[in-house]
C-alpha cells in the first residue's frame, strides 16, 4: 500500500515504481534499437537514426544503440555526429574495433566533406554574383580576392580586362 506522509514522501511502493520505470526504459530502449536494426536492413536510415536516438535517450549507456546510430549517421553522411557517437562508444568500451577504426578514419573524411561543401558554396555564390553582375556587362571573373598575409583578411580587386 502507498502511504502518503505530510512531507509528501510515499512509502515503499514508490521505490518499486521507480525501479519498474527504470526497467521499462531499458526494455523500451532495446525495442527501439532492435526496430532501428530492422530499418537499417531496409535501408531506411533516417528512421533508424530516430529510433536509435530514442533508444539512447531512454538508456544513455546502451552501447549497441550508440554504435548503430554512429553507423547509420555515416550512411547518412552525417560524419561529425557519427564521429561523436564512435567516440562515445570508445568511452564505454575501448575494445570496440569498429569504433576505434572509424574514429581514426573519419576526421580525414570530415575534412574532405567540409572542403567539398565549401567549394560547392563558393560555386553557388559565384553563380549568384554572375547573375547580378551580368546586366552590367561584368562577371565574378572581373574581381580577384587577395588574402592579406599579415591580417588574414581579403582584399577585393577589380579588373575590367576580363
* Confidence (pLDDT) at 63: 97
Angle between helices 45-58 and 13-41 (to 10 degrees): 160
Cα–Cα distance, 74 to 79 (Å, whole number)? 5
> Which residues neighbour 159 within 8 Å (Cβ) at sequence distance 6 or greater?
142, 143, 144
* Confidence (pLDDT) at 130: 87
Residue 48 CB-half CA count within 13 A = 24
* Confidence (pLDDT) at 145: 82
In the numeric block, the cell 530516430 is attached to 50
Quick one: what percent of the chain has pLDDT higher than 70? 86
CB-CB contact of 120 with 110 (8 Å): no
Per-residue pLDDT, averaged over 119-134, amounts to 89
Lowest mean pLDDT among 27-36, 39-48, 120-129, 153-162: 153-162
Cα–Cα distance, 52 to 58 (Å, whole number)? 10
* 60 phi/psi in degrees, rounded to 5: -60, -15
* Confidence (pLDDT) at 13: 57
Q: Are strands 143-147 and 154-158 parallel, antiparallel or unpaired?
A: antiparallel
CB-CB contact of 65 with 52 (8 Å): yes
pTM: 0.70
Q: Is the pLDDT of residue 162 over 60?
A: no
Nearest to 98 by CA among 108, 110, 86, 107: 86
Lowest mean pLDDT among 47-51, 107-111, 141-145: 141-145
Amino acid at each position: 500500500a502507498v502511504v502518503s506522509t505530510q512531507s509528501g514522501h510515499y512509502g515503499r511502493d514508490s521505490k518499486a515504481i521507480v525501479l519498474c520505470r527504470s526497467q521499462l526504459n531499458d526494455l523500451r530502449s532495446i525495442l527501439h534499437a532492435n526496430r532501428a536494426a530492422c530499418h537499417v536492413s531496409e535501408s531506411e536510415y533516417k528512421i533508424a537514426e530516430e529510433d536509435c536516438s530514442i533508444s539512447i535517450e531512454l538508456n544513455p549507456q546502451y552501447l549497441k544503440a550508440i554504435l548503430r546510430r554512429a553507423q547509420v549517421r555515416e550512411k547518412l553522411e552525417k560524419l561529425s555526429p557519427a564521429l561523436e557517437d564512435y567516440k562515445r562508444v570508445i568511452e564505454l568500451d575501448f575494445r570496440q574495433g569498429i569504433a576505434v577504426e572509424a574514429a581514426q578514419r573519419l576526421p580525414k573524411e570530415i575534412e574532405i566533406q567540409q572542403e567539398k561543401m565549401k567549394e560547392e558554396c563558393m560555386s553557388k555564390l559565384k553563380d549568384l554574383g554572375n547573375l547580378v553582375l551580368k546586366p552590367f556587362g561584368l562577371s565574378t571573373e572581373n574581381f580577384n580576392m587577395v588574402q592579406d598575409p599579415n591580417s588574414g583578411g581579403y582584399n577585393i580587386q577589380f579588373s575590367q580586362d576580363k
